[in-house]
Amino acid sequence: MISIDNFYKITEELNSYHARLVAVSKTKSPSEISELYNLGQRIFGENKVQEMCEKYNLLPKDIQWHLIGHLQTNKVKYIASFVSLIHSVDSFKLLKEINKQALKNNRTISCLLQIHIAREETKFGLSETEAIEILTSSELIQMKNVTISGLMGMATLTENTTIVRSEFQSLKNLFVRLEHVNPMFNILSMGMSSDYQIALQEDSNMVRIGSLIFGERNKNNSY
Ligand SMILES: *Cc1c(COP(=O)(O)O)cnc(C)c1O
C-alpha cells in the first residue's frame, strides 16, 4: 500500500532543502509505480537490472530510471539505452564498461561514485582514495560518454544517530573537496527511509526512499 500522506510530507520536506526524491520501487508492481507517477513522481530507483528493464518497457517513457544497486559489468548493456543515473559505480572497470555501452547508444550516462561510509563490511563501495584515483585518472578524460556527477553512500544500519550523522558528514566533506576539482559534481545521494532527515541536515540533495512511501517490501523479492 502506498502512503500518499508520507509521499506528500516527504516531498514538502525535500522542497525546503532543494533536494530530489528517488522513489525506490524495487519489488513493487508497475501498477503501484503508476499510482505514484500519477501523483507527479518521475524518478524511480531500482536495484536489479532485469526488473528495471521489465518496468521500463511497461511504464511511461518520461520516467527517469535510476540504478541504485550493485551493477555487474556484463549487465550494463541492458540498461545503457535508457538509464538516467547510475548511483552505484564501485570500480573503474565498471565505469569503462558504462562508457563503452553509452558510446554504442550514442549518449552520455551520468554516474555517481558509491563511497563506502558504513561500518558494515558487506556494503559495496569505494574508499576515498579509490574514488580520487578514478577522478584524477588520465584515462577518465578519454571517456567522453560518462559523466561523474557526484557521490552516493549508505550509512550504517543503526539506531545510533551519532554514527549515522558522522558517516554522512564524512561523505559530505569528501563531496566538498571533490566538487572544487570536478565542475560536473552536483549530486550528493544520501539518505533512505530510516535516515533521510539526518541526511538532509548534512546537505544531501538526493534521497532514495522506498518503504516509507511504498510500504514494506515483499519478502520474496518479486513483484
Ligand atoms: C532499497 C534501497 C533504498 C531504499 O530503502 P528504504 O529503507 O526502503 O527507504 C535506498 N538505497 C538503496 C541503495 C537501496 O538498495
**How many CA within 13 A on the CB side of residue 109?**
33
Whole-number pLDDT of residue 47: 97
The residue among 97, 91, 63, 57 whose CA lies nearest residue 77 is 97
Q: What distance in angstroms lies between residue 35's CA and the mean position of ligand 1's atoms?
A: 19
- Asked if 152 and 123 count as a contact pair (C-beta separation under 8 A), the reply is no
Q: Which atom of ligand 1 is nearest to the CA of 24?
A: 4
Whole-number pLDDT of residue 223: 73
Ligand 1 cavity residues, CB under 6 Å: 24, 26, 47, 68-69, 154, 192-194, 208-212
List the residue whose alpha carbon is closest to atom 11 of ligand 1.
208
Q: Grid coordinates in use for 93?
A: 572497470
Give me the tens of pLDDT residue by residue for the chain, a chain 223 residues long: 899 999 999 999 999 999 999 999 999 999 999 999 999 999 999 999 999 999 999 999 999 999 999 999 999 999 999 999 999 999 999 999 999 999 999 999 999 999 999 988 766 899 999 999 999 999 999 999 999 999 999 999 999 999 999 999 999 999 999 998 898 999 999 999 999 999 999 999 999 999 999 998 877 667 7
- Cα-trace Rg, the chain: 17
Strands (E), the chain: 20-24, 43-46, 64-67, 85-89, 109-115, 146-153, 187-190, 206-209
Q: Grid coordinates in use for 65?
A: 530510471
Whole-number pLDDT of residue 123: 62
Of 192, 194, 207, 223, which is best to mutate to test ligand 1, by the most ligand atoms within 8 angstroms of its C-beta?
192
Whole-number pLDDT of residue 122: 67
List the residue whose alpha carbon is closest to atom 12 of ligand 1.
68
The residue among 216, 126, 142 whose CA lies nearest residue 178 is 126
Whole-number pLDDT of residue 181: 85
Whole-number pLDDT of residue 221: 67
Q: What distance in angstroms lies between residue 124's CA and the mean position of ligand 1's atoms?
A: 14
Q: How many other C-beta atoms lie within 10 A of the C-beta of residue 183?
A: 7
Q: Which atom of ligand 1 is nearest to the CA of 212?
A: 9
Q: Grid coordinates in use for 23?
A: 522513489
Whole-number pLDDT of residue 152: 98
Query: Cα–Cα distances in Å, from 179 out to 4, 9, 86, 140, 162?
Result: 35, 30, 18, 16, 25
**Distance linking the first and last C-alpha atoms of the chain:** 13
